[in-house]
Amino acid sequence: MSLLGPLGAAARPVARVLGRAAAAQAREMALMAALVAMAPLGRAGDSVERAIEALLPKAAHRAPTARPVLLVHGFAGTKSCWFALARALRERGMPVDAINYSTFGTSVERLADQLAARVDRLRAETGADKVHLIGHSLGGIVIAQAFADGRLDGQVDTVVTIATPFGGSPWANLCPLGATVRALRHGSPLLRRLAEAPVPDGVRWLAFTGTRDVIVPGRRSVPRHAEVRSVTVDDVGHVGMLLSPLVVEHIVAALPAVERAVA
């Protein structure tokens, strides 16, 4: 019994750590299942939103007071992934839009072209001089590629990347299915090019990484640039960061709510 006492005391901290890890991964699996179930709603989201907007009275055109936010989901995701963050941003009075795209039968470069075109359209629709971009996982790589192509010069104020595999994802090496997944392998030509590209002048960059992220583990989700500010979130996984109150609070605080009105 004298031996069991010290052994039991030493084992308790280990058990607590393992218990938190197991709980975090269980939440992660549940969130993945929920987002998969919501995917059909996300694909139908554009038509549903247009129908709702058609029933609302049209506001008189006025100069924007806040730069719009464009949300870019990750691999196999949809705009439904963003409901928690989008709600928080809209409650703060910020215009929010989200892009939907297919990750199959395409490439990061083509997705970057789609993103740049969407930014042009959003600026034209709102009259804003610049936008804020937020990308999860692959979405952050798409944003970085659009910058590398020179398509977003002078059009972006703040970039936020969440669990983005700048250092590659082990899962992309295990299952290199399609051009977009192959581009996310550690040391891929695309990731090497993006690693060498500096943060554009005048752009603030905030990167989030999760301690329980098994898709993009460790510091792989932090760009190498010294100008990038990073935030590590404890006990949160790859998908869980999208719903983390801490992540949402950090992003809302990082984006200026009110800009000088455009004459």
Q: What does the DSSP assignment read for 216-256?
A: S-GGGGS-S-TT-EEEEETT--TTGGGT-HHHHHHHHHHS-
* pLDDT, averaged across the chain: 80
pLDDT exceeds cutoff 70 at 258 = no
pLDDT exceeds cutoff 60 at 238 = yes
The string of pLDDT tens digits covering residues 106-122 is 999 999 999 999 999 99
Lowest mean pLDDT of 17-26, 140-149, 181-190, name the range.
Answer: 17-26
* pLDDT value, residue 8: 53
Closest CA to 124 of 155, 164, 151, 93: 155
> Which class does domain 41-51+65-254 fall in?
alpha beta
Distance CA 124, CA 198 (A): 27
The string of pLDDT tens digits covering residues 51-71 is 433 433 333 333 346 899 999
* pLDDT value, residue 26: 52
pLDDT exceeds cutoff 70 at 259 = no
| pTM (2 d.p.) | 0.78
* pLDDT value, residue 51: 40
By the 10 Å C-beta count (0-12 exposed, 13-18 middle, 19+ buried), 84 is classed as: middle
* pLDDT value, residue 76: 85
Question: Do residues 68 and 95 lie in contact, with contact meaning Cβ atoms separated by under 8 Å?
Answer: yes
pLDDT exceeds cutoff 70 at 201 = yes
What is the average per-residue pLDDT within 181-199? Answer: 92
Which pair of structure tokens corresponds to residue 125? 């629709």
Residues 6+ apart with CB under 8 A from 246: 233, 236
pLDDT exceeds cutoff 90 at 32 = no
* pLDDT value, residue 199: 83
What is the average per-residue pLDDT within 58-86? Answer: 79
**Other CB atoms within 10 Å distance of the CB of residue 241:** 26
What is the average per-residue pLDDT within 134-149? Answer: 96
Closest CA to 54 of 46, 62, 64: 46
Residues 6+ apart with CB under 8 A from 106: 179, 180
Distance CA 92, CA 107 (A): 35
* pLDDT value, residue 42: 43
